[in-house]
Structure 1
Amino acid sequence: MKPLITGIHHITAIAGNPQANIDFYTGILGLRLVKKTINFDAPDVYHFYFGDELGRPGTVFTTFPFTGARKGTKGTGELTYTAFSIAADSLDYWKTRLERFDVKVSDVLTRFGDKLIRFEDHDGMGIELIANDQDDREGWSYGQIPKENSIKGFYGATLNLRSKELTAQLLTNHMDYRFIGEENGRFRYGTEGKPGDIVDILVNPAGNRGQQSAGTVHHIAFRTANTTTQLEVQKILWENGYQVTEVKDRNYFMSIYFREPGGVLFEIATDEPGFAIDEEEAHLGELLKLPDWAESSRAQIAKGLAPVVLNTEKYV
């Protein structure tokens, strides 16, 4: 039987200044702005989607930028580091590039045999770039980053939890994940164990709870093929005592949400229909796109959003 869940769909964070957010992820990191819309649950706030050329599942980092938001703090009960996948020989390029734009970068680290660097964005968001030769996805570049060095999509994510047992049971018993290995108190899980599906649990029994605001992750979404498989997952979760929401229409995918035992908000999102349903592929992310129910309030919504521009040329 085919698995119902096949890896990470997207990761969504809370950010501060919208323009600074676009500049960092498109300009410095080189991700494509594939959709500029609103937070469907807070229409006065942008929702940006950054990813590969088409915003394929497994590549999309999304943000809710709240102008003037205070900075959050990393801690337990949170996804504390989002890891992106790069080519095996790209670490020196990225270390030099990030330092050129005054981003403080860690020394080269080693984890489960892969080399990586760790840093934070302007809001304090934890990011890792993991160099590996296991990822055949093609990265995206606006041109300021050589294609061979571009980010390919997610490698994985780190959940910082006080204990792992119940979360591990959720992943392995109900979400098609399997245990891969342990290293220095870090427990690794994956659907196939490849870039794009890795979830690490870092156990920190005495850790302080994180405080969610700018620079922290709001939720992690896992991939399922379509609404049929999503309803199967929903049923499995309900039957095993998880408080799962009804299906929510997010235009570019359908979603259900629930809290895993350690406190992190999980989402199950469909691969269909994708980001090209309301913009041509060549023009993704250029216009402010609204769901049908918000179109009648477009003028009012647009007036309340800070103007933003895409300007990757200054990051060559």
Structure 2
Amino acid sequence: MSSLAGIAHITLSVRNRDTSVEFYRDVLGFHEYKTEDGPHWRRTFCRHPNGLVLCLTQHTDHFNARFDPRHAGMDHLAFAVSSPDDLEEWEKRLDALEVEHTPILHGDHGPLLMFEDPDGIQLELCCPDPPAG
């Protein structure tokens, strides 16, 4: 079987595309590079300086409810950071931007911060522990 080379992109369904683009740009550093409007959706593609592509799609017939991780689908989205020091810098950034978040926690995979995007999608910034040896 062929191996996977990585994640090509992540697409999130959002209640308000413009609000979400602003959040992911201002908080996490994504930059929008392409916007499309179809008959039933509005979509913006954003790229992070690390190359990760995030597509934010607002469906015109959406039911306008916040995200619920108890439904089938995604539970949360975790972004890796390079070191515990980087995680502390992110904590300061979230504080400065007044983004509500947990303190740095020590989870099963290493230290992490949790917060939510405007739609209630749980986001994590984590510093994965190195693999055991």
TM-score range, shorter chain: 0.7 to 0.9
Report deviation, 1:108. Answer: 1.4
The aligned counterpart of 2:29 is 30
* Partner of residue 74, structure 2: 79
Q: Which residue is equivalent to 2:65?
A: 70
Scaled by the length of structure 2, the TM-score of the pair is: 0.78
- After superposition, what is the alpha-carbon deviation per residue over 1:259-285, rounded to whole angstroms, capped at 9, x for unaligned? xxxxxxxxxxxxxxxxxxxxxxxxxxx
Q: Which amino acid aligns with 2:78?
A: A
Cα distance in structure 2, aligned partners of 1:72 and 1:5: 28
Q: Does 1:98 align with 2:94?
A: yes
TM-score of the superposed pair, with normalisation by structure 1: 0.36
Q: Post-superposition shift, 1:28? A: 1.6
Distance 1:34 1:112, change over 3 A: farther
Report deviation, 1:81: 0.7
SS of corresponding position for 2:92: helix
Tell me which residue corresponds to 1:131.
127
Aligned-CA RMSD value? 2.8
Q: Within 5 Å, give how 1:130-169 maps onto structure 2.
A: 130-132=126-128
Report the counterpart of residue 16 of structure 2 in structure 1: 17
Where does structure 1 differ by over 3 angstroms across 4 or more consecutive aligned residues?
none
Q: From the superposition, tell whether residues 109 and 133 of structure 1 become closer, same or farther in structure 2 (CA, over 3 Å).
A: closer
Q: What is the distance in 2 between the residues matched to 1:113 and 1:64?
A: 30
SS in 2 for 1:9: coil
> Once the two structures are aligned, what percentage of the paired residues are identical?
26
Amino acid in structure 1 at the alignment position of 2:12: A
**Where do residues 162-177 of structure 1 align in structure 2 (5 Å cutoff)?**
none
Counterpart amino acid of residue 80 in structure 1: D
- How far 1:36 sits from its partner (Å)? 1.6
Tell me if the contact between 1:114 and 1:131 (Cα under 8 Å) persists in the aligned partners: yes
Of 85, 94, 116, the residue aligned with 2:112 is 116
CA distance in 1, matches of 2:46, 2:16: 16
Correspondence for 1:61: 54
Q: 2: distance between equivalents of 1:37 and 1:81?
A: 25
CA distance in 2, matches of 1:14, 1:65: 6
Cα 1:36–1:112 change in 2 (3 A) is: same
Within 1, Cα distance between the matches of 2:55 and 2:124? 16
* Larger RCO, structure (CA 8 Å, separation 6 or more): 1
Whether the 8 Å contact between 1:49 and 1:60 is mirrored in structure 2 is yes
Bigger drift between 68-77 and 20-29 goes to 68-77
Aligned to 1:47: 43
How far off is 1:131 after superposition? Answer: 2.3
Aligned AA for 1:115? P
Kindly provide the amino acid, as one letter, of the partner of residue 12 in structure 1.
Answer: T
The question of whether the paired residues in 1 share the 8 Å contact of 2:109 and 2:128 is answered with no
Query: What residue identity is the alignment partner of 2:56?
Result: T
Q: Deviations over 1:56-97 (max 9, x none)?
A: 4xx122211247823232215221111112221211221122
Q: How far did 1:129 drift?
A: 0.7
Letter in 2 for 1:87: S
